[in-house]
Amino acid sequence: MSIILIDYGSGNLHSAKKALERAAALSNRADIIQVSADPDAIRRADRVVLPGVGAFADCKRGLTSTPGMLEALEEAVLKRGMPFLGICVGMQLLATRGLEHVTTPGFDWIKGDVALIQPQDASLKVPHMGWNTLSPRLDHPLLKDIPTGPNGLHAYFVHSFQFKPQHESEVLTETDYGGSIVAMVGRDNIVGTQFHPEKSQKLGLALISNFLAWRP
Amino acid sequence: MLKYRVIPCLDVKDGRVVKGVNFVDLRDAGDPVESAMAYDKAGADELCFLDITASHEKRGTILDVVQRTAEACFMPLTVGGGIKDIQDISKLLLAGADKVSIMTAAVNNRNFVKEAAEKFGSQCIVVAIDAKQTSPGHWEIFTHGGRTPTGLDAIAYAREVVELGAGEILLTSMDRDGTKSGFDLALTRKISDSIKVPLIASGGVGNLDHLVEGIREGHATAVLAASIFHFGEYTIRQAKEHMIEAGLPMRMD
């Protein structure tokens, strides 16, 4: 199977690629992981991963600077149902709007806004940085065999902005940081993680393996 | 619930670890990647490489180390030492670093912090502060391993770099570094309470109580140590168990 990791000038591609390769090897799969900025490569792929670090507006600009990129993604993911995984800002881009510094339109695949984290407890630091547990709202194939809840495995988060989906049904897991923060969103063939699976050791590799095996 | 972090730090010179990890049987204790893998397995929450390569010609060696580490360890990695411009940061992030720690370049040009945070996002820009007490209640920033005074007040400087976009502060007390007498808790708490971003306490850890104090009394959200871990005095697991016994939430995956 061919998996495309979208290269649009965002850092961290190397780690994401290596984590995908390791997850594939651990599940005895012979997947080909390709880093590419070519819209045609997306159309030909079987699965697509959108990584992302940095600011919402920068990431959006980076993506749209490649002509045909958004159109290729919409065609593959929305029309043909290609499994999609967005990571961190790659997850936030699924929203209707990003409110980081300036208001920037997102893909609008999962209705909602991305807004600053404002913990109720003022002593809590922003960014929300470090390891936190996941509380599932729904059973999802990407969480298969992953221990969750307060005594479950941890995921690595580093973000100052949070996804606030309009439809509660599209929240897959949440985490607690002076209140609930959405940790995963999704519907149909689309999933996004606020945390970094490529940096989340056991939980991360298990989740990526589940993504590779996922048949939505 | 978010857990506190324990971060071992490795000094890397010309692509080799100085004071290599001694707690496991490594084929090559000088290989940073092997040390990183050992800490990954031991349950470290993040890893920090401090590049102390002096010669300009060998500056590229850290990129290879970072790249090989990112291939083997799926945990967050911060790299600091000798970062001068946007290009340096870009290369490290592309090689697989998650965060970079900037010290002298930020002291020399505060705007560099802003530029870096705007380009790469605050979440990956750590500003490292080496501070020494100059009078009661006052700490000054020093560079070059504590040799060069800058005249900058540590607390005001920390506030300023956070305002400019630093996503985290790595604070080292130069009075305590290497003494094993514990963190400078007054300094740590003063800075942590003046900024909204997370703070990593560093410098002076000699036992596991010091780690607890750094968080409870210093208000740090992460603690960094080198020698107590490298020489096998304590394992990461022992450190975390001790912190759990003291009532701190820690990750034991």
DSSP string, B153-205: EHHHHHHHHHHHT-SEEEEEETTTTTT-S---HHHHHHHHHH-SS-EEEES--
Average the pLDDT over A101-111 and give the result: 95
On the question of pLDDT at A10 being above 80, the answer is no
Interface touch B196/A125, C-beta < 8 Å: yes
Query: Residue A65's beta-bridge partner residues?
Result: none
Rounded Cα distance, B65 and B96, in Å: 10
Cα gap B236→B41, rounded to integer Å: 10
pLDDT of B179 higher than 90: yes
CA nearest neighbour of B32 among B59, B68, B77, B74: B68
Determine whether A88 is an active site residue. Answer: yes
Determine, for residues A14 and B168 on separate chains, whether the beta-carbon distance falls below 8 Å.
Answer: no
Distance, CA of A119 to CA of A121 (rounded, Å): 5
pLDDT of res. B21: 75
- The pLDDT of residue A174 is above 80: yes
- Residue B135 and residue B125: Cα distance in Å, rounded? 30
Instruction: Identify the pLDDT of residue A110.
Output: 98
Query: What's the average model confidence in pLDDT over B145-172?
Result: 96
Interface ipTM above 0.90: yes
Residues A134-147 have pLDDT tens digits of 999 989 999 999 99
Whether the pLDDT of residue A13 is over 90: the answer is no
| Nearest C-alpha neighbor of A124 from the set B140, B208, B193 | B193
**Which of A86-95, B142-151, B212-221, B241-250 is predicted least confidently?**
B142-151
What are the residues whose beta carbons fall under 8 Å from the beta carbon of A125, sequence distance 6 or more?
B196, B197, B198, B199, B221
pLDDT at A71 over 90: yes
User: How many inter-chain contacts (A to B, CB under 8 Å) are there?
Assistant: 112
Q: Single out the residue of A101, A86, A106, A107 nearest to residue A182, CA to CA.
A: A86
Residue A157 has pLDDT above 70, yes or no: yes
Q: Does A188 have pLDDT greater than 90?
A: yes
Higher local confidence (pLDDT), A78 or B27:
A78
Give the nearest partner residue to A131 out of B45, B90, B98, using CB atoms.
B45
- When pLDDT is cut at 50, 70 and 90, the band that residue A11 belongs to is low
Which run of H or E residues covers position A204? helix A201-213
Residue A80 has pLDDT above 70, yes or no: yes
Q: Which residue of A has its CA nearest to B219?
A: A123
Percent of all residues in chain B with a pLDDT value above 90, rounded to a whole number:
83
Centroid of chain to Cα A160: 15
Q: According to the model, what pLDDT value does residue A24 have?
A: 96
Cβ count within 10 A of residue B250: 22
Helices and strands (H and E) in chain B: how many:
10, 11
The A-side interface with B (CB below 8 A) comprises 11-15, 18-19, 22, 53-55, 58, 89, 124-133, 150, 153-154, 156-160, 176-177, 196, 198-205
Angle at B222 between CA B41 and CA B199, to 5 degrees: 145
B125 - beta bridge partners? B100
Question: Binning pLDDT at 50, 70 and 90, where does residue B57 land?
Answer: confident
Q: Virtual CA dihedral for B153, B154, B157, B159, nearest 10 degrees?
A: -120
pTM for the whole structure: 0.96
A155 pLDDT higher than 80: yes
User: Residue A101's pLDDT is what?
Assistant: 80
| Residue range B20-50, pLDDT digits in tens | 677 777 778 789 999 999 999 999 999 999 9
Type of residue numbered A204:
G
Provide the mean pLDDT of chain B. Answer: 94
Checking if the pLDDT of B56 tops 90, the result is no
As a whole number, mean pLDDT of residues B158-177 equals: 97
Mean pLDDT along residues A169-188: 97
pLDDT of res. B13: 93
Query: How does the average pLDDT of chain A come out, rounded?
Result: 95
SS3 A192: strand
